[in-house]
Amino acid sequence: MAQKRTRILFIVIIFIFLIYFFIAARPIPREIVLSSRWINTLETDFIQDAEPPAPLFPSVSGDHYPFSLGLRFGFVNSSGNFLFNREKTQEISLGKNMWTEYPAEPSGIIINNILYGNEIDVQNSGGYPFILDDRIFILGSEQNSLSEISGSGNVLWTYDFGSPLTAIDAAAGLVVTGSLDGLIEVFNSRGERIFHFETSGSRYLVVLGCAISHNGNYIGIISGIDQQRFMLFERAGNEGDYRINYHEFVGEGFRRPVHILFVDDDQRVIYERMGGIDSYNIRSRRVVNIPLDGEIAAIDESGSDGYLFLITSHQDRLKKLVGIRFQSAGVFRRSSSAVDTVFLEASFKSDDVYLIRSGAAGGPSIFVIGGGTTLISFDLEEK
């Protein structure tokens, strides 16, 4: 009898265990892995301090990344080799495939294109060059005019504003601007104004940040001081038809330019607020606040595969590399995290920093971080 009871008890225990195993078991979460790829110093013996001969770069193949770190700038490829690496002697503007150096009061400007190995001569520029979305722009010396320059150095269009510009972004053939008076304006590739909006609700109406999504369907704005406001506009139909998708007040606000960008294949918009950043999921219309210490010194502009990296700046040259995992985002959707979370913090000391990430969705990302006079590259994978 005792033996029979023992057998029944054993069967019950096994049955309970099986029920628990199938109901309570959870998959082991996959972890992100940073695998060292290469390390290079900006003080290498191969630095090109002299003017490069023409053509500048007869052949550029594979991925390459512009960098500006400390007193040096240039381009480095995915293998860690410098396309060029030189000392800053004037003001610089860097784009994905173009760069320029110019004096404090420029008259003529030379734009260098590393893909085609040619120079673009811009005569009588009358302002300050900058490169966005592989397009060349000139901001007028009074900051109240904007011109686009062609690949041959000619002015394609010019627009005069009623107030100095305080924020500019470009993507998908569009340009979005924000002004000191709080006006938001959108222009097409011909320089025609197709949308404008006057912000309100703040004591001071200045636009402190703007971004346009890679597909041109969304525009994000940070405007105002006391109160500061985030607004997301969504394309509603034809060219120039935008409407407010979401808005909120985010506190008294910063009195400086504010980081705002679209990441994760335009699924999210990231923007600064006091004490951290907000991550707004466009699909779910849900915003998550992620507390951060310090100020953002550099940020990963792709935010791909459900991860975002940034570097924060603190006192005594202290910097922190911060990794954020988005909730059920990107191609890696196995995380059971209920909210966007910080999963990585690594401290180091440096005066200047650099950060960039690129790679195909679903595959390993190339992650390059810089501090002092050193660039370090990692492969970013989930295992």
Give all strands of the β-sheet with 193-198 in edge-to-edge order.
165-171, 174-179, 183-187, 193-198
Q: Which long-range contacts (CB under 8 A, 24 or more apart) does 204-208 make?
A: 205/181, 206/166, 206/178, 206/179, 206/180, 206/181, 206/182, 207/166, 207/167, 207/178, 207/179, 207/180, 207/182, 207/183, 208/166, 208/167, 208/178, 208/253, 208/254, 208/256, 208/257, 208/258
Quote the pLDDT of residue 304: 80
C-alpha distances in Å from residue 343, one per residue of 197, 290, 317, 326: 38, 12, 23, 10
Tokens of 106: 């420029």
Quote the pLDDT of residue 375: 93
pLDDT one-digit tens code per residue, 29-79? 556 677 788 999 998 644 444 444 444 554 455 688 999 999 999 999 888
pTM comes to: 0.83
Our separate counts of H helices and E strands in the chain read 1, 31
Reduced to 3 states, what is the DSSP secondary structure of residue 251?
coil
pLDDT one-digit tens code per residue, 300-319? 988 887 889 999 999 999 99
Which of these, 324, 303, 301, 299, lies nearest to 311 by C-alpha position?
299
Q: What is the DSSP letter of 189?
A: T
Residues with pLDDT less than 50, the chain? 9-10, 12, 17-18, 20-22, 28, 45-55, 58-59, 329-338
> Residue 281 forms beta bridges with which residues?
268, 286
Quote the pLDDT of residue 358: 79
